[in-house]
Amino acid sequence: MNTNNAPPPVGSNQPPKMTARGVNVFYGAKQAIKNVSLDVRADEVTAFIGPSGCGKSTFLRCFNRMNDTVDSARVEGEIKLDETDIYAASMDVVQLRARVGMVFQKPNPFPKSIYENIAYGPRIHGLAANKTDMDGIVEGSLRRAGLWEEVKDRLGESGTAMSGGQQQRLCIARAIAVDPEVILMDEPCSALDPIATARIEELIDDLRGKYAIIIVTHNMQQAARVSQKTAFFHLGTMVEYGDTSTIFTNPSEGRTKDYITGRYG
Amino acid sequence: MADSHGHTVKSFDEDIGQLRAIISQMGGLCEVQIAAAVDALVSRNIEAAEQIVRDDARIDALEMEAEALAVRIIALRAPLADDLREIIAALKMANVLERIGDYAKNIAKRAYAVSQAQPIGPVVIVPEMARAVVGMIRDVLDAYVDRDAALAATVCERDRWVDDFYNSLFRSLLTFMMENPHYITPSTHLLFVAKNLERIGDHATSIAEMVHYAVTGERMAERTKGDDSALFARSIYAIPNTDAPPLKGSPPKGYPAKAPPEEDD
Q: How many angstroms separate the CA atoms of A37 and A1, rounded?
A: 14
Give A24-76 pLDDT, tens digit per residue: 999 999 999 999 999 999 999 999 999 998 999 999 999 999 998 888 999 99
Q: Looking at residue B118, what is its pLDDT?
A: 83
Residue (of A206, A194, A199, A184) closest to A150 by Cα position: A199
Pick the residue from chain A with its C-alpha nearest to B87: A249
pLDDT, one tens digit per residue, over A112-130 is 999 999 999 999 999 999 9
pLDDT tens for each residue of B12-48: 999 999 999 999 999 999 999 999 999 999 999 999 9
- In chain A, which residues have their Cβ closer than 8 Å to the Cβ of B149? none
Q: What element of type H or E holds A49?
A: strand A45-49
| Cβ separation A262–B81 shorter than 8 A | no
Nearest CA-CA partner of A142 in A100, A177, A101, A168: A177
The residue type at A112:
K
pLDDT tens, residue by residue, A219-261: 999 999 999 999 999 999 999 999 999 999 999 999 999 999 8
Q: Which one, of B62, B52, B204, lies nearest residue B138 by Cα?
A: B204
Confidence bin at B261 (pLDDT 50/70/90): very low
Residue A51: inside a domain: yes
Q: Output the average pLDDT for chain A.
A: 91
Chain A residue nearest residue B218, CA to CA: A250
SS3 at position A11: coil
Which residues of chain A make contact with B217, given a CB cutoff of 8 A? 249-250
pLDDT at B100: 97
- In angstroms, the CA B35 to CA B48 distance is 12
The residue extents of the domains of chain B are 10-231
Query: Which pLDDT does position B1 carry in this prediction?
Result: 40
A149 falls within a domain: yes
Candidates B191, B59, B54; CA nearest to B120 is B191
Amino acid B239: pLDDT: 46
pLDDT of the residue at B264: 46
Contacts with B264 (C-beta within 8 Å, 6 or more apart), sequence order: none
Q: Which of B220, B231, B214, B164 is nearest to B194 (CA)?
A: B164
Q: pLDDT higher for B221 or B69?
A: B69
A232, part of any domain: yes
- Which one of B3, B85, B218 has the shortest CB-CB distance to A263? B3
- Count the neighbouring beta carbons within 10 Å of the beta carbon of residue B72: 12
CATH (domain of A236): 3.40.50.300
CA separation for the pair B226, B201 (Å, rounded) = 11
Q: Is residue A265 part of a domain?
A: no
Residue A7 lies in a domain: no
Q: What does the longest C-alpha to C-alpha distance in chain A come to?
A: 58
Q: What is the reported pLDDT for A14?
A: 66
CA–CA distances in Å: residue A76 to residues A3, A32, A65, A87, B9: 9, 11, 12, 9, 39
Residue of B nearest to A224 (CA): B80
The CATH number of B10-231, from 1.20.1430.10, 1.20.58.220, 3.40.190.10, 1.10.10.10, is 1.20.58.220
Q: Is residue A13 part of a domain?
A: no
Question: Is the distance from CB of A188 to CB of A197 less than 8 angstroms?
Answer: no
Compute and round to an integer the Cα radius of gyration of chain B.
20
**Tally of CA atoms within 13 A in the half-sphere of A260 that contains its CB:** 33
Distance CA B4, CA B6 (A): 7
Q: Mean pLDDT across chain B, nearest whole number?
A: 87
What is this model's ipTM? 0.73
Q: What is the mean pLDDT of residues B161-175?
A: 92
Contact list, A249 vs chain B (CB under 8 Å): 80-81, 84-85, 217
Span A69-110, pLDDT tens digits: 888 999 999 999 999 999 999 999 999 999 999 999 999 999
Longest dimension (CA), chain B: 68
Residue-range definition of the domain harbouring residue A84: 18-260
Q: Is pLDDT at B259 greater than 50 in this prediction?
A: no
Higher-scoring residue by pLDDT: B211, A12: B211
Residue A2 falls within a domain, yes or no? no
Residue A96 included in any domain:
yes
How do residues A179-203 score in pLDDT, each as one tens digit?
A: 999 999 999 998 888 888 898 899 8
The nearest CA of chain B is from the CA of A218 a distance in Å of 14
For residue A162, CA distances in Å to A107, A174, A182, A201 come to 10, 15, 26, 19
Q: Based on the number of CB atoms within 10 Å of its own CB, is B264 exposed (0-12), middle (13-18) or buried (19 or more)?
A: exposed
pLDDT digits (tens, 9 = 90+) for A139-165: 999 998 889 999 999 999 999 999 999
Separation of alpha carbons B101 and B200, rounded Å: 9
β-pairing verdict for A100-103 and A182-186:
parallel
Q: What is the mean pLDDT of residues B43-63?
A: 96
